[in-house]
Amino acid sequence: MKVLLVEDDAKIATAVRRGLDAECFTVEVAANGIDGLWMAGESVYDVIVLDLMLPGRNGFQVCADLRARGDWTPILVLTAKEGELDEAEALDTGADDYLTKPFSFPVLVSRIRALTRRASTRGGEAPTAVGDLRIDPARHRAWRGGHELTLTAREHAVLTLLVRRGGEVLSKPDILDAVWEHDFDGDPNVVEVFIRRLRRKVDEPFGRHSIETVRGAGYRVVDDAG
């Protein structure tokens, strides 16, 4: 498994690299955002571990640049910035996971492996739809009718789960287990946040109500022809 570590703190970079080497990962290190972007374009990585406070281009910019050019390599943000707004911004720009420093090394390894497991299941998935809401998991794209939707990686993962299980009610734990994996230790209400974001992008601009809340049970996607 090949990992790109973008980290400007030499001590942290060395410690993470040695630890991942011991877990049989191949690790390449970039010390700033500009080099990180260049390396991501020159080689194929299974996961990118990305600091936010970087010289050259910060982690938010690096993440946004990668997604803008169609690079959907899983990104794990590893940072000392632990505020909710920073985490929300990182996820909105396309990061797949967020871990704050100081961190548990076994948790870091488990998060990386979880990201690669999810990525490996996307390659052979065919497009699927509920009504005129269509997703292509393999290409990480989604449409409402003829309009392509702009979604973050996590938003796309939640929507993909709901569409593939169209009509089935999924609880918050169901969604957390499928999208965030079993080691998630944050606030389960993060699911509500992503449901609200999806409704603003998938339903509201088109006058639809396809993402339903089933009180006391969870969420589902239904065919709403408008």
Q: What's the pLDDT score for residue 141? A: 81
Q: What's the pLDDT score for residue 94? A: 87
How many Cβ atoms are within 10 Å of 206's Cβ, its own excluded? 17
Instruction: Provide the greatest CA pair distance for the chain.
Output: 56
Query: Per-residue pLDDT tens for 41-94?
Result: 777 788 999 999 999 999 999 999 888 776 778 999 999 987 888 888 898 888
Q: Are residues 30 and 109 in the same domain?
A: yes
Q: Are residues 156 and 114 in the same domain?
A: no
Give the chain's domain count. Answer: 2
Q: Which of 86, 120, 154 is the last residue of a domain?
A: 120
Q: What's the pLDDT score for residue 106? A: 92
Q: Are residues 134 and 210 in the same domain?
A: yes
Q: Which of 76, 99, 120 is the last residue of a domain?
A: 120
CATH number, domain at 140? 1.10.10.10
Residue 137 contacts residue 101 (beta carbons within 8 Å) = no
Q: Are residues 165 and 93 in the same domain?
A: no
Query: Residue 12, by phi and psi: left (phi above 0), alpha (psi -120 to 50) or beta?
Result: alpha
Q: Are residues 69 and 151 in the same domain?
A: no
In a domain, 51, yes or no: yes
Q: What's the pLDDT score for residue 108? A: 93
In a domain, 87, yes or no: yes
Query: What distances in angstroms separate CA 3 from CA 18, 54, 111, 178, one per listed residue?
Result: 12, 18, 13, 23
Range of the domain at 12: 2-120
Burial call 1-28: b when 16+ CB within 10 Å, e when fewer: eebbbbbbeeebbeebbeebeeeebebb
Q: Are residues 163 and 186 in the same domain?
A: yes
Name residues of the chain where pLDDT drops below 50: 123-124
Kindly tell me the sign of the dihedral angle through the C-alpha atoms of 48, 52, 58, 60.
Answer: positive
* Block residue for tokens 């498994």: 1
Q: Which of 120, 154, 188 is the last residue of a domain?
A: 120
Q: Are residues 132 and 91 in the same domain?
A: no
Q: Are residues 90 and 153 in the same domain?
A: no
List of E strands, 46-169: 47-50, 75-79, 97-100, 128-130, 133-136, 141-144, 147-148
Among 129, 130, 150, 148, residue whose Cα is nearest residue 197: 150
CATH number, domain at 80? 3.40.50.2300
Q: Are residues 160 and 105 in the same domain?
A: no
In a domain, 181, yes or no: yes
In a domain, 226, yes or no: no
In a domain, 135, yes or no: yes
Q: What's the pLDDT score for residue 124? A: 46
% of the chain with per-residue pLDDT over 70: 91
Q: What's the pLDDT score for residue 222? A: 92
Q: What's the pLDDT score for residue 224? A: 80
Q: What's the pLDDT score for residue 165? A: 81
**CA distance linking residue 42 with residue 107, whole number of Å:** 28
